[in-house]
Structure 1
Amino acid sequence: MATPYITSVTALCLIHPGRRFKPFWHPVGSPDKWHIAGQNYPDTSSFFGGQELVDVSEILAKWDVETPLCISASYERAVFDFLHNHIELNNQVVPNVQPSDINDVVDFGRVLGWVSDWEKSGRLRRGPAMRAWLETEDFR
């Protein structure tokens, strides 16, 4: 079983090591409401393995957030995770997040590359819809 990790919008609400800003301006909220891959959110470890995970223990300690879980998807993996959940798995519109909300911090080019690669390998059925969301405006 893969290690649970913070993902989706929750991961976008945390400042990651080496990054000056978080992409999404909302507060991180209570840990019982977080998106946790492998618990209450789909896990994309079959795509990434243990890559694109970051230790966010310092920022959580700084914010006095008590939780045993201190591993988060990178911003780019968090975006892939929520696109994978809403578009690929559930064929839904992505709620509450627009590309323009996060494009100043998230490298959409990396996410587009993953979508393209996994679509070509047959691992994604709805790659065109995922790309369409990422390319709503040309951020690259």
Structure 2
Amino acid sequence: MKTSVILLLLLLLNSCSEPQLSTYEQIESFYHRFKEGNFERFSRIIVINEEGTCINCNNLFARNQAENLSKDSVLFIVSGYGTMVDISAYVDKSSPNLILDPKNEFQKLNLKKGCSIIEIANHKIKSITTINAKNVRN
């Protein structure tokens, strides 16, 4: 009897919990914590951080992607303090498509470890590509 009451309570608590957000919804929610505006306008998200296995790759990626800051359809999420990856091209920019995340809050979403390119369309994640030594120049 005691076991069935505990089981019933656990089932009841589980049924009352909030539904899981999709990966797209998690990123959209993260965006709205920092910015106002239409998240749907983005087709690509560039994630720059100091995570992953190739810090040299992250530095090269950060330098190469800076030229895309003016593209309205690309969201930049730059995490960390810039101690291992040079984020100077992003720090003094006030752009509606740039989120500076010094506390690395974005990594708590557990999407990928390292710099990434996230392709989105129709309220869904199409792909997440983590930058590494093989693909950093593409």
Q: TM-score, normalised by structure 2?
A: 0.29
Q: Which has the higher strand share?
A: 2
